[in-house]
Amino acid sequence: EAQVTQNPRYLITVTGKKLTVTCSQNMNHEYMSWYRQDPGLGLRQIYYSMNVEVTDKGDVPEGYKVSRKEKRNFPLILESPSPNQTSLYFCASRWGKSSYEQYFGPGTRLTVT
């Protein structure tokens, strides 16, 4: 089954404790991205990647890091999480620049206390 998976689905952590949210897609998509969803703000793009080893900042990159060492994986790293990073995070992928349909993962609800 074609899908985007994220782990963990739920995470409660404390300020400053480094964490990684994994994202994996099995559709051989070139393009992957991370969004955060906050009430009243919709989805805002954090980072995106056009291919392996090619990443760029989205609209709200501060406090986040990403890497794209393999085509299928695009982990989101919070080196020193803060309470304002409490949010619902979505990973998404699509085939490439000629394809505009994005496939979203199920989301990761992160709480930073």
Q: Does residue 62 bind other proteins (CB under 8 A)?
A: no
Q: Does residue 102 bind other proteins (CB under 8 A)?
A: yes
Q: Considering the complex, what minimum distance in angstroms separates the CB of residue 106 from other proteins?
A: 5
Q: Which long-range contacts (CB under 8 A, 24 or more apart) does 42-45 make?
A: 43/90
Q: b/e map of 59-84 (b: 16 or more CB within 10 Å)?
A: ebbeebebbbeeebebbbebeebeee
Q: Does residue 97 bind other proteins (CB under 8 A)?
A: yes
Q: Does residue 72 bind other proteins (CB under 8 A)?
A: no
Q: Considering the complex, what minimum distance in angstroms separates the CB of residue 97 from other proteins?
A: 5
Separation CA 95–CA 72 (nearest Å)? 11
Q: Considering the complex, what minimum distance in angstroms separates the CB of residue 110 from other proteins?
A: 15
What's the one-letter identity of residue 96?
A: G
Instruction: By CB under 8 A, name the binding residues for other proteins.
Output: 4, 31, 33, 35, 40-45, 48, 50, 56, 58, 90, 92, 97-98, 100-102, 104-107
